[in-house]
Amino acid sequence: MTLLVGVVEGDPPSRDVLASRPDVRYVFIDPGSPPPAEAAAAEALLIWNVRSGYLRDHWRDFTRLRWVHAGTAGVERVLFPELATSDVVLTNSRYVFDEALAEYTIGLMLALTKDLQTTLRHQSEHRWVQRETETLSGKNVVMVGVGPIARRTAQIARALGMSVRGIGRTARRGDPDFGDIVAAGALRAAFVDADYVVMVLPSTPETAGLVDARAIAELRPTARLINVGRGSTLDQGALCAALRDGRLAGAALDVMTPEPLPADSPLWEVPNLIISPHMSGDHAGWQRDIAELFTRNLERFLQGEPLLNVVDKTLGYAPSEHV
């Protein structure tokens, strides 16, 4: 029998990147319209952009669904109650964005350490102002979250001569990349001697507001904070207050609340803050990489084998061997 796979399209469309095969028929779905009648028979669904809430809005239309693949690493926007309590398997695109996100994060660290904002401002003002900047080598970075993206970032940071510590769900010693990992309950103590805090957390009830005003207050005035995980995990107001008051040297946010950030948001004017539009993982070829991952999982699905990147719907993410 031919497997019917629904594809909720994104931008750009994916028709040309999904390889055809004789035992699979794709139904390409316009995310701005209700699913066509034939999509009701789809047993698998690939959703390129989960931000639209398409599946939640049309959940009852997919009567034979057994597997949903999200074209993202984070799944909080697709893990609505009906899906969470169903037997439908949810997989994500974990590992696809690791290298790009790690490189982007290191780039933000370098931009802050080398004060590139001031350099660019001087350039726009046609001013030749020589000055000293800091180095990353010898600095301490605390990774809040110890998943695959954080692990790759930690590896590069170590290669640059930085000392790394991790904060995870459970404590353990002697991790090859994070060194000693402490549990979230010890987060404030871990911040005391941090030069950099890098947040790479999923959005779950447990991580909501994890880095709050009290945690930010533990950071030294010379410290800097970067968030490339989810905006909900950080007290954004407390961070901005610390930057305005000079209690923090700098920060970079690739994720924030709300998204997209309104043009009149006061966040744009916060001093020593770099803002980017949730693009740290967007790399050339990302769509092809997701299509390849989906194709590998599709073969497993057809053969009745365990799928890759299965999301634990009680945790809100796909756990790895490292927790």
**Residues annotated as catalytic (active site), given as ranges:** 230, 259, 278
**What 8-state DSSP symbol labels residue 211?**
B
CB 73 within 8 A of CB 102: no
CB 69 within 8 A of CB 49: no
CB 38 within 8 A of CB 76: no
Query: Pick from 123, 51, 86: which is nearest to 68 by CA?
Result: 86
d(CA 63, CA 166): 43
Strand order in the sheet with 250-253: 172-175, 179-183, 163-168, 140-144, 196-199, 224-227, 250-253, 273-275
Q: Which residue has the tokens 């028709």?
A: 15
- CA distances in angstroms from 253 to 145, 159, 198, 209, 302, listed in the order given: 16, 24, 10, 15, 41
Structure tokens at 148: 């695959």
Residue 6 pairs in a beta bridge with: 27, 45
